[in-house]
Amino acid sequence: MIGNRLGGRYDIEKKIGEGGMAVVYRARDILLNRTVAVKILRSQFGNDDDFITRFHREAQAAASLSHPHVVNIYDIGQEDDVYYIVMEYVEGETLKEYINEMAPLDVREAVNIAIQICDALDHAHQNHLIHRDIKPHNIMINKNGKIKVTDFGIARAVSAATITHTGSVLGSVHYFSPEQAKGVMTNAKSDLYSMGVVLYEMLTGQLPFSGDSPISVALKHLQEPYIHPRQLRPEIPQSLENVIIRALAKDPIYRYESAHEMLDDLKTCLSPERRNEPEYVLPEKYQQDDADITRVIPAIKPEMLGRRSWEDDTVPGPRGVPLDVKNNQGEEEDDPDEHRERHRKGLIKKGVIWAVGIGLFLLLSIVGSYYAMSLLNVPNVTVPAVEHLPVDQARKALEAQQLVAQITEQNDPTAQPGTVIKQTPAAKMQVKQKTVVQLLVSKGKQQTAMANYIGKKQSDIQSELSSYKKVTVDEVTNDQKDPGTILDQQPAPGQQIVPSDTELHLTISKGQDTVTMPNLIGLTQDEMQAKMDSLGLTANVKQVQSYQKQGIVIQQSYGAGKQLTKNSTVDVQVSAGMPQEARKTKVPVEVYLNPGEQADIEIRLTDATTSNETVEKTTINQSTRFDVTCVVSPTQNAIIQVFKNGAQMDQKIVKYTDIQ
């Protein structure tokens, strides 16, 4: 089916679900350029003309609904032997999936979800449309947390077809109303009962009734009480439990009158003035005749009725004349006495047969009653304490008492995976052998799929990294990715993890390989070239005249300490010697001391080659002469400053014109 086009406009893209009635695909409506869901009926329904007529009628009725919490039906169609419905595509998950993952839900969240479902039911009921199959599987939660109820009206069409073909009742038996379990006429109140079961499951994480077979569950809906939610979860307000008690009344007369009434009750059940209201007590405890509550009587089908063969009996005619006596038209007639004798023997034979039959019936009834009593006389046992035990050990402990374990899993951050969090019935309770004990088993902390950080900048995900137990980083050279880009991660994207227990390791690009620019000023050209080669840098050398010694580096295009990528080019200026107009000379500097005096002497030079450079620094204890070499130019005089013990004591200025 994937890749086909239905109705000339719906391109089937992907299978997204299936059930007993249909397979659901994601498709693209090429006419309106939107994503839709296409439900394609299974072949056994497509071959039933009565069903197709009924299905079209109900789907058209459902298509008339327009409500924010109802999945819209856009189109109904047929192509060859394929019948399909086109519906609104809801991107999200079913409420059943959400319950399995998160139950028990927060009280306010559960009430909010129930309000949205009841709002949808109220709209449908006011439009004379009953769902008949309300269950978490038919309720979607989109990615924004909004509730959408699907399959309105379709249940009625499928119900009739299913009963016709198989004699069974449609739907999930765990969410049946008692009247559905009986197979009698249902109405809007059946949807409210199913709504009560859904609310019970959201709040407790378990169903009010369960059993080994659909029949046993249906019987419990009819005749057994359920464990009240507050016994399983005491923090549930009494006002909210009262909503469930009223919705799950076995007799529809004691349920809410309408979805609108239940909706109003849900909207106020968490208000402070109602939270501690008295427990709602049903006016009647359903006192019924035993035959009413312990038997399920199937419909009598024509083939179950016996057919009497009147032709084999000899039936007296009018005035006692046998029908097989020949007429008076010249034919011989039987003797009446002989006929009466035969009739008497026939009656005796039938009497013996009836007596033997009645005797056998009574004998079988006695044996059956004895066997039934032996089955009903089940001994009591004490429920063992299995909370906090590993589930296998808990199961063995229950089996030792001839009890049946039913497992429900739930995330729990405080309990080790595979251990029992809660048991129902509680430990030390007296129950019958073969009783089902509900075990709520921990799946450990909530796991989630590891996010994909590859290709992102570390600075952009800094806030997300705080959710992990530890984050380590390796930086590697990479010529293709900008610095800070994440190249690899462990755990890998998509792997199931518990973030608070996970150590995340990131490999991050630090860009191209870099080197630190050295100081080249003052080095000879050969020394400069050797250093540049060792760092993988290229020197673009330019000879310029200067007052520095020939062959000395006097300038570089990047300052010392600058980070450069390998193979970068650096412009370097090397002295080609002094210009012709430069004049070099030695200037004598006399420093005089008094006899016995000692002083720290510093001489500083500013000329055409340097600025404020210390050319002499020493300690003397007698008068001393220093020769200072300087270079002057037409635009730059030489200034010689003499400092004694830190204080300037003399200064000489040598002009260009002073030197011959």
Active site residue 251: no
Task: Report CA dihedral (546, 547, 551, 552) to the nearest 10 degrees.
Answer: -100
- What is the DSSP code string of 165-182? HHS---S-GGG--HHHHH
Which H or E run contains 42?
A: none
Query: How many residues are present in the chain?
Result: 660
Both structure tokens of 657: 């014109």
What's the burial of 500, exposed, middle or buried (CB within 10 Å: 0-12/13-18/19+)? exposed
Count the neighbouring beta carbons within 10 Å of the beta carbon of residue 586. 9
Write the burial class of residue 590 (CB in 10 Å: 0-12 exposed, 13-18 middle, 19+ buried): exposed
The number of beta carbons lying within 10 Å of the beta carbon of residue 357 is 10
Burial of 8 (0-12, 13-18, 19+ CB in 10 A): exposed
| Residue listed under structure tokens 């039938």 | 350
User: Which residue from 431, 429, 428, 408 is spatially nearest to 420, judged by alpha carbons?
Assistant: 408
Longest dimension (CA), the chain: 194
CA distance 140 to 142: 6
SS3 130: coil
Do 597 and 626 meet the contact criterion of CB atoms below 8 Å apart? no
Burial environment of residue 105 by CB neighbours within 10 A (0 to 12, 13 to 18, 19 or more): buried
Q: Residue 293 in 3-state DSSP? A: helix
| Distance in angstroms (rounded) separating the CA atoms of residues 165 and 152 | 22
Structure tokens at 603: 């001489």
CB-based contacts of 233: which residues, under 8 Å, 6+ apart? 104, 203, 204
* Distance in angstroms (rounded) separating the CA atoms of residues 570 and 533: 12
Counting other chains too, the contacts that 12-18 makes at CB distance below 8 Å and 24 or more residues apart are 12/38
Q: Would you say 600 and 591 are in contact if contact means Cβ atoms under 8 Å apart? A: no
Residues 533 and 520: their CA atoms lie apart, in Å, by: 13
Beta bridge partners of 650: 642
Place of tokens 């004699």: 167
CA angle (551 as vertex; 548, 556 as ends), nearest 5: 80
**Residues 59, 74: Cα–Cα separation, whole Å:** 10
Q: How much of the chain is helix, strand and coil, in % rounded to 5? A: 35, 30, 40
CA distance 55 to 41: 10
Instruction: Point out the catalytic residue in the list 133, 191, 265, 412.
Output: 133
Q: Burial-class residue 594 by CB neighbours within 10 Å (0-12, 13-18, 19+).
A: exposed
Sign of CA dihedral 41, 42, 47, 48: negative
Catalytic sites, residue numbers: 133
